[in-house]
Chain A
Amino acid sequence: MRLFAAALALVLLSAHAEAPLRGTGDLGLVVERASGSIRIVDTTAERPIARVEGLGDLSHASAVFSRDGRYAFVFGRDGGLSKVDLLTAKVVARRMQSGNSIGGAISQDGRLVAAANYEPGGVNVFDAETLEPVAEIPAECDGQRSKVVGLEDAADHVFAFSLYDCDAIWVADFSDPAAPAITRFEDIGHQPYDGLVTLDGRYYIAGLFGEDGLALLDLWRPEAGVRRVLDNYGRGEEPLPVYKMPHLEGWAVAGGEIYLPAIGRHEVLVLDAATLEEKARIPVAGQPIFAMARPDGRQVWVNFALPDNGTVQVIDVLDHEVVKTLQPGRGILHMEFTARGHRIWMSARDDDRVVVYDTATLEPVASFAAEKPSGIFFTHRAHRIGL
């Protein structure tokens, strides 16, 4: 009996030793786009700590996090939605929710997860606890379904999204999850391709592919309608080929200015955040994909489409100039800052590596192997609106 107790104690002790208590505030994940897997990463140790497989086609996958930072909701290209426990590295729920998906969002209260779908075009909303369906919003106009892009959460139980094929922005109020109230804004501009919500949750902005300009909706005063900003920023110039669609999600607000990737021009656009008028343009190395501000707003890091996707440029916001051009690896797809910005992690898809840079010295400090890494998402996203 005593022996049994000793053995039991040993088992309990070793079980405890395998999984010590820990927080999730410094955890995150790296999508391995070609192998349907993610690496769970520790941003303090600056290394991967676990791998989770079987998540389907992750070729344009993104993730959002539960309010407690424990669970990641991973949106796969093939319509798969997976809920992953970062602490146990297990898939705790999974659902094929559409045929072709582009990303998603989690509600302000953390209770609803919404997925934006290309096929069939629309938004599907699920209970974050169980992934049971809550609502289905078909996106359509003139009897045709539309691909949905730029799905973002905002304050007061709102999801906002754009209809690529309908030139529309829809705002869905989920105050009553069983009966969402949808407000539709039409003729907002041609081919909205992505959207973002400002950090304060006030503005939803859709980038337009089909014309120069952006569509802006004031979520605090939706009755005022959508207005156009940065109209005709190309001013009749012949646009350059866009070998990859820019992403607005990582848009940068710094020092009262907004930094956005231009489309069809090798420039980062600078807007005055108060007036939303163009203030400057910064020439950069190629077609920008992400323009992301370090969390303190001092720097903006920019990556590029082919053939410049091995280059990353760092803009100093004080003088609107590129202060350093880096070659962190081949095929830089995504960048993610730690919560307070001392590090930036970058995916070098074509090197099968993740590289970590110190944002003060602009020097590499760590790297590790990952299979075709793409999106990098840290748990501090759980605490921000519009991510």
Chain B
Amino acid sequence: MPRILPALAVAVAAATAVSVGGGVLAAAHESLDAERRAELEYMVRHDCGSCHGMSLEGGLGLPLLPERLADIPDEALVVTILDGRPGTPMPPWRALLSEAEAEWIVDYLKGERE
């Protein structure tokens, strides 16, 4: 996995950050190339999975299954990924993930990708 995000992804994140609601996630899909999406999927399974379980049914962290996330607004989940949950082991991922990437992950977790 690249240790530093491609500058392109950061720039795209800035561009998509202005839109809100359902359009954000559609834009996130298009802004990430297939290779990066594969990396993100791998990261969710294996690195997020170290706390949330590789099949995302939970561990030290909460389950991340679609039915558990369905009622939580996308924006709240994006903020949770980027800024973490203070008081819990959920760290802020902002140094490793762009906003567009966090949006793509939310979409992926909710089972709405592709």
Contact = CB atoms under 8 A, between A and B. Distances in A.
Given A33-B54, A330-B1, A241 B60 contact: no
Nearest to A245: B89
Interface string B76-88: 0000000010010
A210 B50 CA distance: 19
B58 A34 contact: no
B59 A77 contact: yes
B96 interface: yes
Name the interface size band of chain B. 20 to 34
Interface string A99-131: 010100000000000000011000000000000
Contact of B92 (A34, A59, A191, A241): A241
Interface in B1-41: 1, 3
Nearest to A34: B54
A70 B57 CA distance: 33
A257 B92 CA distance: 33
Contact of B55 (A57, A118, A210): A57
B1 A350 contact: yes
B95 interface: yes
Given A193-B60, A241-B91, A306 B53 contact: no
B84 A241 contact: yes
Contacts of A77: 53-54, 59
B65 interface: no
A282 interface: no
A39 B84 CA distance: 36
A312 to B, nearest CB: 15
A210 B86 CA distance: 10
Given A59-B55, A331-B46, A243 B96 contact: yes
A306 B54 contact: no
Given A118-B59, A242-B91, A100 B84 contact: no
Interface residues of A, number: 31
A308 B96 CA distance: 11
Given A244-B47, A307-B96, A349-B46, A57 B91 contact: no
B89 A209 contact: yes
Contacts of A75: none
**Interface residues of A, dominant DSSP:** loop
A243 B46 CA distance: 12
Contacts of B49: 59
A164 interface: yes
B59 A102 contact: yes
A119 to B, nearest CB: 7
Given A57-B54, A77-B54, A244-B50, A306 B96 contact: yes
A278 to B, nearest CB: 23
Contacts of B57: 78, 100
B89 A193 contact: yes
B6 to A, nearest CB: 14
Contact of A118 (B58, B84, B89): B58
A220 B55 CA distance: 41
B53 A372 contact: no
Contacts of A149: 60
Interface in A356-386: 372
Contacts of A343: none
Interface in A176-214: 191, 193, 209-210
B51 interface: yes
A323 to B, nearest CB: 23
Contacts of B84: 241
Contact of B60 (A34, A164, A372): A164
A60 interface: yes
Given A57-B53, A243-B96, A210 B87 contact: yes
B91 A119 contact: no
Given A57-B54, A164-B60, A193-B60, A306 B47 contact: yes
7 contacts: A57-B54, A60-B50, A60-B53, A77-B54, A210-B87, A244-B47, A349-B46
Interface of B: 1, 3, 42, 45-47, 49-51, 53-55, 57-60, 84, 87, 89, 91-93, 95-96
Interface of A: 33-34, 57, 59-60, 77-78, 100, 102, 118-119, 147, 149, 164, 191, 193, 209-210, 241-245, 306-308, 330-331, 349-350, 372
5 A-B pairs closest in CB distance: A59-B54, A241-B91, A307-B3, A242-B91, A241-B92
Given A307-B96, A350-B1, 8 more contacts: A100-B59, A102-B60, A119-B58, A241-B84, A242-B89, A245-B89, A306-B47, A350-B42
